Structure 1
Amino acid sequence: MPPNPEQVAGRPGPGAPSRPPGPPTQAPGGPAHGAPRPKGTAVASSAGRERPTPRSPSWGSRLRAALGTTPARVWALSLLCVATIAGLFGSATVTLDQARDGLDVLGRDAGPQAMATTELYLALADMDARVADILLMGTDHDLGSGRAEAESGYEASRAQAGRALLHAASLTESSEPTEPTDGETVEERNVQAVLDGIGAYEQLAAQALLLNDEAGAPPGEVDPAALQSHRQATRLMHTELLPKAFNLGLDSSAIVRTNHEEGRSSVALGLVWVGGAGVATVVSLIALQLYLRVRFRRRFNAPLLAATVGAVVLTVGVTLALNSSGGHQGEAKDEGLDAAMALARAGAITTDMQADQSRYLIDDSLADNYQQVYLERSQQVLFRPASNLDDYYARIAEVPEAFPNLPGSDGSDGSDPEDPGTLGYLGQDARDALLSGHEGALAEVLAAYNDLQVEDQSLRTAAREGDQETAIDVRMGISHTEDGVFPAYMDALDGLIELHQEEFADGIERGNAALAPWTWGLPVGALILLTLVVVGVRPRLAEYR
């Protein structure tokens, strides 16, 4: 008989004894059939081999899957272009703002204030010179321009000193603190010391004038008590006030220089970011064009090509504007402000030299000392190698004759190679900073300065010969308001200073003009680039709707 199909299938046939239900059978070494498997265990294949359990896909796989379609890739490249354009706009905006801030600080804040602080030394020196002139006049109030003019000039210089102190205080307060002591910076302490010292000086000067008037001293013969008070006043001026005023001027120059250099460094770093963002924008736009060309088989995409050219123009334009503005700012500082401040210091020192002349005539016991100090200050203004005043007079007379060349080793006159040249505030530095076409202005200053030395030689010659009256007349003639050689010198110097101040103002204006078009040009340009990107990719994305 053929076998029972149910028996062949493993099932009991009719009449076979039934088995009680039990646990499912389990192959040796494996889990029971139907039992849950531990996570991660291999599953037997139909062929008897094990296969690993599927794992969740990685981020890289997901990204590749997300970018696996053409629209996704177009979107990704488009967003990259938008991001780089935004980066170009942001970096350019920040850098342009930094450049504008630097121009504002130099042109409207620190620069003018620093120039004003140089007037402090001039005002103090003029105060001291006026007091010495009044003492020299004695009872003759009509000598020179007269006592009333001298007193009026004293009051004007005192007011000018007060204004200059206010400028110095505002400048030091806005600067970084330097060696703070008891909550005050060194600069602030100097300002306060000068302010306090002016009050003490005025008391001593007023006492000297009062004692001399009460004694009825004739011209050139100062009362001993008045002379003693004047010595204290001028000692205070030259050991405390003028050195601190000069240092304040130097500090203000240092503040301007520091602000200028920090601004240039910030703009230079910004230029790197602008250039990097511009390159990234161009590269991303080119990548998008190449992909569209390959995928859609188009030769070029006109909007994206225009956006690429626009990105180049925007990057180069901003870079050139920043470089041009920085160049104008540097010219404004070097050829404008720095040169004007140096010439202003020359005027202040020359003013102090006038007081030395009067003191030379009223104080016989210290006359030699005042004469030596006069020579030292003269060398600061215009240096020529000389051991005494007579040699200095001769050397200075050569300067206006040789101009526009300057005597010394750097000239073309075959002079001594050991000669350091014509130095000082009116020397080689002034010649180097001279603006094109204005050589005559410096020549006029040098000629006027030589006239001062000629008159000084006449004054000292008369004094050595005992002709006090002639010496006093020469001194009063030097300082005479209308036709004195000193006012003529100061007028010529002020004219040269004004030229450099105009160069300073013009440089700031040119710097701002270079940046002005990008106030609106940058946002408009960035908006155009974004629009071109949208116009360039929208038709391609529309094909997949």
Structure 2
Amino acid sequence: MTATLNRPSAPTTPTDQRTTGLLASVRRLLFRWRTPSVLRALTGVILVLAVAWGVVVGGAFGGVRDGLSVIGHQAAPQVAASADLRFALSDLDAQVANVLLVGTDAEFAGNRRQALDTYEKRRVQVDADVQQVAANGGADPSTQRSIRTVLDDLGRYEALAGEALLLNENSHDPVGRPGAKTLDLYRQATGVMAHALKAAQELTNANHRILGDAYAVSHGDTSWSQSLVMLLGILVCGALVLLQLYLRWRLRRLVNPAVAVATLLVACLTVAAIVLLVNEQDKLKVAKKDAFDSVVALSEARALSYDANADESRYLLDQDHAADYERAFHEKAEQIATLPGVNDLGQYVQALDDAAARYQRDPRDVRFDGLFGTEVRNVTFDGEQAAAEHLLAAYSTYQRDDQGLRSLSRSGQLRQAVAFDVGTTSGTSNYDFGRYDEALQSVIAINKQAFDTALSEGEAALSGWTWLIPGLAVLVMLALVVLGVRPRLAEYR
């Protein structure tokens, strides 16, 4: 006789017991009601959740679209206009210094004409920038106050600079030696311009903060929307699964095809919506963090560079304050590319050459901070690395030119120093400054293009689908649920 051995059953864990008890409770609750009532109740819950899901998805897409619009079409143009305003103001004063520096000497007639033409060009540019900032600045009190300051200072500056230029034109002072009255007027004009530049910088800072706030809100809202879309999607799928199980328990139907398709549809669309929101969040990051932060840093560097270039001319023009202008030049250079342990311009040039060489050999070896440090630590896009290396090399060349200019001045060769300063042929300071400015604009253009591309791609991904996707999804899903439940209800008539 063969004995039958009883195999011991697997131990039941507390978690299994709680899960089994929960399912049993739900089943008892549902079986207490009449089947048509349960089906109608479950269908109603599903319909409410489905509509809520659609509203949340549509609202999330609309919020991202609005965020892209605010950043791309409102805040960013304001930052760009205020940064361009500071650059134009800086160059405006630099051109006045150059005109006064060369005087009426026939040898420098071409340089004088070019400086006057650039001065008029910058005046037009300043007016356009102020109008754009004022038009888009709204009623923000600090923005309006800064704009009024710039306009008031600009009027005073043009009056003082115009009088200085007129005196200079009617004089026959030697190159680099304007009359005392002319020099006094220019000193006053420069002081007024310094105040205007401070107001312009405040405009840039304020608009950059607005852009940062808009990005933070849009980025945070997108993260919150992802969680809410996922939660509601899970709830809708859970309700549909519960309906499917009830139909199986109560009506002995293995699978309700319509409800199964509706469940799959919600799951797929929820995943698709989350993927789209994640992609849009990435576009926001690329536009703001990777691209526009570099645009702002480099635009600030450009404005400082033009102001520093004006300091060179002021250094030659106003010998009584030459040390002050040399110190101002060094301070601006340090803001552009901060080099540790550097105390004077001579050390700065050597340290800059070394840092640029190290960076070219290994882009991870960054030995400088400042605005250029911000850029090279944020290199992201195709061609940006090579453009950044070229920028540093051009900046080093310009800084070496500055040392040559000061050496000529200290040795008493003022005329040669002026010619080197305002010259536009290869091997002169202004020529190399122009090449440096082109390199700077090239890096700005790469980041600006990336910014525009990220925004346009983000907007294109949402175009026309903000409410169409969730709307169609909800309508199709409702039709499937009704199609799956209605025939079952008809069995009880």
- TM, length-normalised to structure 2: 0.89
SS in 2 for 1:327: helix
Aligned-residue offset at 1:147? 1.7
CA contact (8 A) 2:420 2:429 kept: no
CA contact (8 A) 1:478 1:486 kept: no
How do residues 59-208 of structure 1 correspond to structure 2 at under 5 angstroms? 68-140=33-105, 142-143=107-108, 145-173=110-138, 177=140, 185-208=141-164
Aligned-residue offset at 1:212? 1.7
Classify 1:434/1:485 alpha carbon distance in 2 versus 1 (closer, same or farther; 3 Å): farther
Classify 1:517/1:431 alpha carbon distance in 2 versus 1 (closer, same or farther; 3 Å): same
CA contact (8 A) 1:120 1:245 kept: yes
Classify 1:144/1:72 alpha carbon distance in 2 versus 1 (closer, same or farther; 3 Å): farther
User: How far does the alpha carbon of each residue in 1:216-251 deviate from its partner, in whole angstroms, 9 at most, with x for none?
Assistant: 22211101100000000001111x111111111111
Stretches of structure 2 that go unaligned for 5 or more consecutive residues are 1-28
C-alpha distance in structure 2 between counterparts of 1:144 and 1:377, whole Å: 30
CA contact (8 A) 2:104 2:171 kept: no
CA contact (8 A) 1:380 1:424 kept: yes
> Aligned match of 1:302 in 246, 257, 275?
257
SS in 1 for 2:105: coil
The size of the alignment, in residue pairs, is 462
CA contact (8 A) 1:125 1:352 kept: yes
User: How far does the alpha carbon of each residue in 1:62-91 deviate from its partner, in whole angstroms, 9 at most, with x for none?
Assistant: xx9998322121111111111111110011
> Aligned match of 1:521 in 460, 463, 469?
469
Q: Which amino acid aligns with 2:170?
A: E
CA contact (8 A) 2:398 2:433 kept: yes
Classify 1:327/1:65 alpha carbon distance in 2 versus 1 (closer, same or farther; 3 Å): closer
- Give 2:448's aligned residue: 501
- Give 2:296's aligned residue: 341
- The answer as to 2:276 corresponding to 1:321 is yes
- Give 1:544's aligned residue: 492
Stretches of structure 1 that go unaligned for 5 or more consecutive residues are 1-63, 178-184, 413-420
C-alpha distance in structure 2 between counterparts of 1:512 and 1:142, whole Å: 56
Classify 1:275/1:479 alpha carbon distance in 2 versus 1 (closer, same or farther; 3 Å): farther
Aligned-residue offset at 1:517? 7.0
CA contact (8 A) 1:115 1:341 kept: yes
> Aligned match of 1:472 in 418, 421, 429?
418
User: How far does the alpha carbon of each residue in 1:271-323 deviate from its partner, in whole angstroms, 9 at most, with x for none?
Assistant: 33222221211111111111111111011111101111111111111111111
Q: Which amino acid aligns with 2:166?
A: L
**Further displaced range: 457-466 or 68-77:** 68-77
CA contact (8 A) 2:294 2:374 kept: no
Classify 1:293/1:106 alpha carbon distance in 2 versus 1 (closer, same or farther; 3 Å): same
- Structure with the largest fraction of helix: 2
Classify 1:255/1:138 alpha carbon distance in 2 versus 1 (closer, same or farther; 3 Å): same
- Give 1:379's aligned residue: 334
**Further displaced range: 214-223 or 371-380:** 214-223
Aligned-residue offset at 1:141? 5.3
How do residues 331-480 of structure 1 correspond to structure 2 at under 5 angstroms? 331-385=286-340, 386-404=342-360, 411=365, 421-477=367-423
- Give 1:61's aligned residue: none
User: How far does the alpha carbon of each residue in 1:197-225 deviate from its partner, in whole angstroms, 9 at most, with x for none?
Assistant: 10000000011111122222221110110
C-alpha distance in structure 1 between counterparts of 2:159 and 2:106, whole Å: 22
CA contact (8 A) 1:336 1:500 kept: yes
C-alpha distance in structure 1 between counterparts of 2:257 and 2:57, whole Å: 26
> Aligned match of 1:248 in 199, 203, 208?
203
C-alpha distance in structure 2 between counterparts of 1:324 and 1:517, whole Å: 17
Aligned-residue offset at 1:482? 12
CA contact (8 A) 1:141 1:147 kept: no
- Give 2:25's aligned residue: none
SS in 1 for 2:370: coil
C-alpha distance in structure 2 between counterparts of 1:351 and 1:118, whole Å: 12
C-alpha distance in structure 2 between counterparts of 1:530 and 1:479, whole Å: 75
**Bigger radius of gyration, 1 or 2?**
1
Q: Which amino acid aligns with 1:140?
A: D
CA contact (8 A) 1:67 1:73 kept: no
C-alpha distance in structure 2 between counterparts of 1:114 and 1:435, whole Å: 21
Aligned-residue offset at 1:126? 0.3
Aligned-residue offset at 1:142? 4.9
Aligned-residue offset at 1:406? 7.2
C-alpha distance in structure 2 between counterparts of 1:439 and 1:283, whole Å: 50
- Give 1:56's aligned residue: none
- Give 2:267's aligned residue: 312
User: How far does the alpha carbon of each residue in 1:94-143 deviate from its partner, in whole angstroms, 9 at most, with x for none?
Assistant: 11100100011111221122112110110000000000000001012552
Q: Which amino acid aligns with 2:351?
A: R
- TM, length-normalised to structure 1: 0.81
> Aligned match of 1:492 in 419, 435, 439?
439
Q: Which amino acid aligns with 1:324?
A: N
C-alpha distance in structure 2 between counterparts of 1:136 and 1:493, whole Å: 26
SS in 2 for 1:283: helix
Classify 1:522/1:105 alpha carbon distance in 2 versus 1 (closer, same or farther; 3 Å): same
C-alpha distance in structure 2 between counterparts of 1:138 and 1:337, whole Å: 41
Aligned-residue offset at 1:427? 2.4
Determine which structure has greater relative contact order: mean sequence separation of CA pairs < 8 Å that are 6+ residues apart, divided by chain length. Answer: 2
C-alpha distance in structure 1 between counterparts of 2:276 and 2:425, whole Å: 50
Q: Which amino acid aligns with 1:512?
A: E
CA RMSD after TM alignment: 2.3
C-alpha distance in structure 1 between counterparts of 2:381 and 2:349, whole Å: 28
C-alpha distance in structure 2 between counterparts of 1:224 and 1:406, whole Å: 52
**Further displaced range: 482-491 or 100-109:** 482-491
C-alpha distance in structure 1 between counterparts of 2:240 and 2:378, whole Å: 49
SS in 2 for 1:544: coil
SS in 2 for 1:368: helix
C-alpha distance in structure 2 between counterparts of 1:267 and 1:357, whole Å: 49
Classify 1:499/1:372 alpha carbon distance in 2 versus 1 (closer, same or farther; 3 Å): same
